[in-house]
Structure 1
Amino acid sequence: MIPSSGLSSSVLPLFLVTLIASGLSGILYLHPRIPLGFVRVHIKIVAIPPLISLVVFAIIEHNGITGLFYLDSLAWLMAFFVLTIGLIIQRFSVRYLMGDRSYRKYFALFTFTTGAASVTWLSGDFRLMLLFWGLTLIGLILLIRLNKVWKIANEAAKGSGRLFMLSWVSLLLATTWLYQVTGHWQFSLSLTDEGLYQIGLWERTGINLLIVLAVIIPAAQWPFQRWLIESVVAPTPVSAIMHAGLVNAGGIMLARFSPLFNGDIASIILLMFATISVLIGSGISLVQVDYKRQLVGSTIGQMGFMLIQCALGAYIAAIIHLILHGLFKATLFLQAGSVVSSFSQPSLVREKPSNVWIMVGRVLGLVLGTAFWFMEPGDGYQLISAIILGWSLSISWTQLVALGKGRIVRIAGISILGGATVFYFFIHNLFYEWLHTSVYTSVQPPMPVVIIVLSLLLFGSSLGTWAVRNRSSGSFAVLYLWLLRLGEAKPRSVESHPNYLKQYLP
């Protein structure tokens, strides 16, 4: 019987062959003599690599190292996730993009980008990771400028390309510096206790700061959020894979480099930038009227919270967050076309909620948050999670129960909340069982820093509540216009009347 780690190593060549076959299928589809119907064959070929990664992930129990690859459960999980999301979006695009002049090129680039991303997370060598992460970013840039005759798409691609280059060079410097100190290019050798012992305090801080810079740019964190805002000119399926499988790459990257982070100044800086991004992203999503920009603002905020989890050492929670967020955000983008019809439906008039039911929800939220906090009272992440869980339960209770009309509606609301709670804890425990041997838990920043972050989040929430109740004030107007400005693209990336459409006119 083959051990799980041996199975992982033996299946790797088959996985890579099927990945190459899916890429060759995309290249073949570029030829104009290949019928358009071949895309369905291409989709079937693309479905093979995620199926293999799922089988290996379901069986693997131990970490395995094969040459340049580090084949643990996290690597196979992320390969399966990225390739599966890519498969679903490509299948959706078969009809969605039919008739687009870049139809053939789209499938080739999409397959190339998701394939390169999957190899990135299977990499156990810094050089291999750098190569394929760079190829992933190049593929993303080309997807953004898919309609290259449109000036705005070209501008968005150029802006993204400059920032991606800065991010990639920062990662290159960090890994090269790490190699110079430890003498190893492999994760499994350079990030051991022996390798980390060779890194001085200032060297570790410098490497960590470079990694933080490399992470916050593709995650569209403040002040680098504008590239994601301008990328909405890309086709909606491109936005779906961008938000679901590529923007959230920072969580995986930080999990891989987690032994380096020990609550030092780099972790604190990451925590502050992520906290600011949560507030800004939430504000942008509230003031924008464009649906895709609302989703962009939401992604900025969600990625900020994911990076807060990483900065607090909760890497497994961050992995859970990025996967669930990816599934949720991909769904929202793919159903973006139904938003117009939903606005045309008459809104339901709800009665004023009962104060008694609202108070019950707040008490339940307080009890849940307190109980969750007492499970690990010295843990900074536990404190933030306790407050967020309690607040979420209170809000959900108000929406699903307190605002419900009649006993049946309230019972249904309570049932939904109960089911969601069970599902949350089930998923949480399942992922911890899968990833506890693959993800390192680093030291958290000092508790005073955590309290400052928590205070900023509470201040932002209070400010939002105040703004909603004082819309006629001058302060609200200033805040609204500032958030609106943050959520707008640069003037050269905006075109009121797309000139490229003139070529289709008689």
Structure 2
Amino acid sequence: MLVDGTVLGAVVAAPALVALGAFLARGRAVRALGRLGVLVAGAGFLTGVVLVLRLSADGDVVRVEGGVISLAAERLSAMLLLLVFGVSAVVQAFATRYLAGDRRAGWFIGGAGLLTAASAALATAATLVALALAWTLAGVALCLLLGTYRHLPAARDGLRRTATAFVIGDAALWSAVALVTARWGQVRLDELAAHSGGGLPAAVVAVLIVVAALSRSAQLPFHRWLPATLAAPTPVSALLHAGVVNAGGILLIRLSPLSTADPAVALTLLAGAATMGYGALLALVKPDVKGALAYSTMAQMGFMMFTVGLGLWAAALIHLVAHGFYKATLFLSSGSAIAYRRRMAAAPPASVPTGRRRAAALWAVALSLAALAVGVTVVPGVTDHGSGMALLVFAGITGAAATWGWLMRRPTRAGVLTAAAVLTAAMCGYLGVVSVATTFLTPALPAETLPPGAVATVVAVAVLMLAGLAVLRRWQHGSGLHHALYAHALSASHPTSTVKGTRP
């Protein structure tokens, strides 16, 4: 047995030990501990891979019994461990050079190790109290990371905003834990379904859990903390996606028996849809790369919340894992993106005819739909469940947007043929991954109770968002009222600071 309870406990606790050493170390020991942190996170990722293979074969749950503080790794936890340790390993490896010679490097290494351990504990917690403790510890670790450059007024402003949102969310979660514990005593997560019930107490618990999830995932009205964190080093922005900003979805999925009361579902759907549109609009007008990525993350987390509200558990989980990996990568490569923008700004502006824009848009939509049709034919079973349908909508929109950008630069027959070939291959691969992941996760997730018209709702929301984005594009180049509306959206993307000496 390659992975047992001892190994699981070790991979969860090891990053915290590295963190303790990093906070105390000085000089060359800091760099050595940075490399050790990378190795520990890499070992955790390999453990996650072994867990996935083992659970696919026999389905046995790996447990670490410790009373209130117990851990358990089943299919859902194994998938989340891949996210947490995979992102952490890449980010810490990047940071060894990014922060080389920085006197605050030890602080970052300590915060990264603590965040990794807390996120891994959040993914594997077996009891309600253990999950809440890991949740709070992850928030504390992020606040420590945001204080890496605390001498900067902007960093202190981001820390204040984040701490305020997290304190509200943590208070809500611990209130829910107190209500559940007072009624049923110490509760294991795999026994929640037996303890869930209706009535006012259940509705209150569900709403409190949703409030906690909204605050951690930067959803309206707790959305202001995420854009204010960009004064921290870029690796901190990337590490956010290792189980922090996407922890709201993790919480709602793991506590689904307690969070599906009607008022809580309505709140989740409303906040998710509103944040999805708001974040997408502001990401479009935000001029700086990291700011646009932050608002894009906010919108993506809105999509995650929306699918959770619809009960599309597999779609939400697959999306949060995939988004965590690729958005962390985008943050780490933001420096290259900034350099590219500077080269483009130095080049003479090119005028794109309106007809060419429209033709590129039509071709992009047509090619995306065709690639989806081929993918559904090649990968059967994707449309048999609501999660697959929701991810089809998401894949279609993403494919059309990427293809449009390509055709704007390559408006030739060869460009169209290249786009068709690459998009079809990518769509088939994506749907294949979705099919395999859904099959793996289904035994560990609640049954999908898809409400009538849920898929139609996803499509309608997607169409409305696309229409809004198209209108906003026109605002950017318009005049009068259009120009004023665009300027208002641009202004909204710059949070006003309350810390003296901080520029918005």
1:230 shift after superposition: 0.8
Identity of aligned residues (%): 24
Match of 2:152 in 1: 150
Structure 1 pair 145–435 and aligned structure 2 pair: CA distance change class (3 A): same
Q: Where does the alignment leave 5 or more consecutive residues of structure 2 unmatched? A: none
- On the 8 A contact 1:164/1:217 being kept in 2, the answer is yes
Structure 1 pair 40–467 and aligned structure 2 pair: CA distance change class (3 A): closer
User: In 2, Cα distance between the equivalents of 1:313 and 1:110?
Assistant: 32
- On the 8 A contact 1:230/1:493 being kept in 2, the answer is no
Match of 1:326 in 2: 324
- On the 8 A contact 1:89/1:241 being kept in 2, the answer is yes
Structure 1 pair 35–74 and aligned structure 2 pair: CA distance change class (3 A): closer
Which amino acid is the alignment partner of residue 52 of structure 2?
A: F
Question: Is the aligned partner of 1:305 residue 2:307?
Answer: no
Question: Is the aligned partner of 1:9 residue 2:33?
Answer: no
Match of 1:53 in 2: 48
Match of 1:419 in 2: 425
Match of 1:109 in 2: 111
Higher deviation after alignment, 73-82 or 105-114: 73-82
1:361 shift after superposition: 5.2
Q: Within 5 Å, which residues of 2 pair with 1:327-342?
A: 327-342=325-340
Structure 1 pair 391–76 and aligned structure 2 pair: CA distance change class (3 A): closer
Q: Within 5 Å, which residues of 2 pair with 1:53-452?
A: 53-60=48-55, 61-67=59-65, 68-189=70-191, 191-192=192-193, 194-196=194-196, 199-262=197-260, 264-346=262-344, 353=356, 362-363=365-366, 385=391, 387-400=393-406, 404-445=410-451, 447=453
User: In 2, Cα distance between the equivalents of 1:378 and 1:52?
Assistant: 32
- On the 8 A contact 2:143/2:159 being kept in 1, the answer is yes
Which amino acid is the alignment partner of residue 324 of structure 2?
A: G
User: In 2, Cα distance between the equivalents of 1:95 and 1:387?
Assistant: 39
**15, 18, 21: which is aligned to 1:22?**
18
Structure 1 pair 136–73 and aligned structure 2 pair: CA distance change class (3 A): same
1:231 shift after superposition: 0.7
Match of 1:501 in 2: none
- On the 8 A contact 1:18/1:49 being kept in 2, the answer is no
Which amino acid is the alignment partner of residue 112 of structure 2?
A: F
Which amino acid is the alignment partner of residue 435 of structure 2?
A: N
Deviations 1:234-288 (A, max 9, x none): 1111011114531011111111112334472211221111111011101111111
Higher deviation after alignment, 30-39 or 459-468: 30-39
Structure 1 pair 381–45 and aligned structure 2 pair: CA distance change class (3 A): closer
Deviations 1:393-445 (A, max 9, x none): 54455444686344433322111101111111111012112211111135345
Structure 1 pair 150–181 and aligned structure 2 pair: CA distance change class (3 A): same
Which amino acid is the alignment partner of residue 9 of structure 1?
A: G
1:168 shift after superposition: 0.8
Higher deviation after alignment, 143-152 or 175-184: 175-184
- On the 8 A contact 1:25/1:42 being kept in 2, the answer is no
User: In 2, Cα distance between the equivalents of 1:17 and 1:244?
Assistant: 16
Which amino acid is the alignment partner of residue 464 of structure 1?
A: L
Which amino acid is the alignment partner of residue 72 of structure 1?
A: E
Match of 2:464 in 1: 459
1:166 shift after superposition: 0.8
Which amino acid is the alignment partner of residue 425 of structure 1?
A: L
TM-score (norm 1): 0.85
User: In 2, Cα distance between the equivalents of 1:376 and 1:12?
Assistant: 33
Structure 1 vs Structure 2 CA RMSD: 3.3
Structure 1 pair 304–163 and aligned structure 2 pair: CA distance change class (3 A): same
Secondary structure of 1:221's aligned partner: coil
Structure 1 pair 283–203 and aligned structure 2 pair: CA distance change class (3 A): same
- On the 8 A contact 1:259/1:442 being kept in 2, the answer is no
TM-score (norm 2): 0.86
1:32 shift after superposition: 4.2
- On the 8 A contact 2:314/2:441 being kept in 1, the answer is yes
Secondary structure of 2:443's aligned partner: coil
Higher deviation after alignment, 454-463 or 418-427: 454-463
User: In 2, Cα distance between the equivalents of 1:151 and 1:398?
Assistant: 40
- On the 8 A contact 1:117/1:136 being kept in 2, the answer is yes
- On the 8 A contact 2:497/2:503 being kept in 1, the answer is no
- On the 8 A contact 1:262/1:442 being kept in 2, the answer is no
Which amino acid is the alignment partner of residue 195 of structure 2?
A: G
Structure 1 pair 444–207 and aligned structure 2 pair: CA distance change class (3 A): farther
**477, 484, 491: which is aligned to 2:490?**
484
1:486 shift after superposition: 2.8
1:341 shift after superposition: 2.1
Q: Where does the alignment leave 5 or more consecutive residues of structure 1 unmatched? A: 499-506
1:462 shift after superposition: 1.8
Deviations 1:186-219 (A, max 9, x none): 1122x12x322xx223222211111110001111
User: In 2, Cα distance between the equivalents of 1:157 and 1:382?
Assistant: 38
User: In 2, Cα distance between the equivalents of 1:20 and 1:291?
Assistant: 32
- On the 8 A contact 1:21/1:45 being kept in 2, the answer is no
Match of 2:473 in 1: 468
Structure 1 pair 180–367 and aligned structure 2 pair: CA distance change class (3 A): farther
